[in-house]
Amino acid sequence: MRLVATDWLASSHHGRGIMSAAFRTVMTEWAIPRMNVRDMRVEVYVDNVASTRVFEKFGFVEERNADDVVTTNTGVVWHGVRLLRWRRT
C-alpha cells in the first residue's frame, strides 16, 4: 500500500520537538499497532535538515538522494529529494 502525506509546521513553532512528537505518536499509536506497518519510505527535500532529523530520530536511515526538481503548490522550487527508509525489526 502507498500512502502519501505531507507535514508542515508554522515557523513560529520550529525547534520545539512538536513534529517529532506528532510523528512518533502516529507511528506508535496507529501505524505500527493498527496498520502493522513494517517498512516505510519517506521523501524529504535535501535542504530540509529539520524534517530529515525528525525521521532520523525514529530510526529512518538514508537510502539515497534523487536529483528530482520539485515545485510545490506555492511555487517554491526544491532541487533534490532525500529518500529515507525505516524497517521494523
Q: What digits encode the pLDDT tens for the residues 59-78?
A: 999 998 888 777 777 887 77
19 CB-side CA count, 13 A: 18
When pLDDT is averaged across residues 2-28 and rounded to a whole number, the result is 86
Comparison of pLDDT for 45 and 19, the residue scoring more: 19
Q: Above pLDDT 70, what percent of the chain?
A: 94
Q: What are the φ/ψ torsions at residue 28 (nearest 5 degrees)?
A: -80, -25
Q: Which three cell numbers stand for residue 44?
A: 524529504
Given the C-alpha cell 526538481, which residue does it identify?
A: 69
Tell me how far the alpha carbon of residue 73 is from its chain's centroid. Answer: 18
The C-alpha cell 500500500 sits at 1
Per-residue cell: 42? 519517506
pTM of this prediction exceeds 0.85? no
